[in-house]
Amino acid sequence: MNQLHRLPLESKLLPLQPSRIAMDGTFEGYASLFRMPDLGKDIVEPGAFRESLARRGPAGVRLLWQHDPAEPLGRWLSLIEDSRGLFVRGRLSLAVARAREIHALMRDGAIDGLSIGFRPEKARSEPRTGLRRLERVDLWEISIVTFPMLPQARISAVKAMQRPAAFA
C-alpha cells in the first residue's frame, strides 16, 4: 500500500463569497486565516504552511470538489502564506463539466466554501480551552465545498466563463 493512503488526512472548511465576476474561471481568496478558531476548535498559526508550500508548490496541492480525489476541478496558480493566512489563486478547468457546474454555482453564491486537506505535523492542544494550535501542517489539497468551517475566510473574486457569441 502506498504511504499516502496510510497517513490520516484532516479537512478544514472555509466559506467563499464571490464578489466580482470576470472571464476565465479564475478565483482567489483565503483558504485559511491565522489565529482564528474554526468550528472544529483548530487554530492555524502563522508559518504553519511554509515548509509544505516550499516542498510542494502550487502544482503539488490538488484543487478538488468536496475532498474527492476522483473530482479534480482545476489547478492552483499560486498559494501564498502572508500575514493574514493562506491566500490562494486557482483556475477551474472549464472544459470539465463538473468544473463548469461548480463555477456557475460559485458565481450564483450557492457554493460558498473552501476546505484545506492536510496532515498535522506539529500541533499543541490546550486542555483548558479545548483548542488545538496547528504550528506545522502538510497541505495536500484545497477543495471547494458546500459547508464551511471558518466563517471569517472569504473568496475575494470569481471570474466568469466567457459565453460563446451565439449565446451572448
**pLDDT tens-digit profile of 40-70?**
999 999 999 999 999 999 999 999 998 899 9
Angle at CA of residue 98, ends 92 and 100, nearest 5°: 55
| pTM for this predicted structure | 0.81
Q: Looking at 20-34, 93-107, 126-140, which range is the least confident one?
A: 20-34
The whole-angstrom separation of Cα 153 and Cα 159 is 18
Catalytic residue (choose from 52, 81, 103, 115): 115
- Is 28 labeled as catalytic in the residue annotation? no
- Is 83 labeled as catalytic in the residue annotation? no
Answer whether residue 3 shows pLDDT above 60: no
Nearest to 8 by CA among 140, 150, 135: 140
Query: What secondary structure does DSSP assign to 120-142, as a single string?
Result: EEEEEEETTTTEEEEEEEEEEEE
Q: Under 8 Å CB-to-CB from 135, ≥6 apart: which residues?
A: 45, 47, 48, 122, 123, 124
Nearest to 42 by CA among 103, 149, 131, 144: 131
Catalytic residue (choose from 28, 32, 52, 67): 67
Strand partners, 158: 27
Answer whether residue 4 shows pLDDT above 90: no
DSSP annotation of 112 reads -
- So what's the pLDDT on residue 7? 53
- So what's the pLDDT on residue 111? 81
Answer whether residue 25 shows pLDDT above 60: yes
State pLDDT tens for residues 63-78.
999 889 999 999 999 9
Can you tell me the mean pLDDT for 106-129?
Answer: 90
Catalytic residue (choose from 28, 81, 103, 141): 141
Q: Residue 141: helix, strand or coil by DSSP?
A: strand
Q: Domain limits of the chain? A: 3-160
Answer whether residue 119 shows pLDDT above 70: yes
Helix intervals (H) in 3-157:
3-6, 50-56, 97-108
- So what's the pLDDT on residue 145? 84
- Is 5 labeled as catalytic in the residue annotation? no
Cell numbers that stand for 138 in this block:
502538510
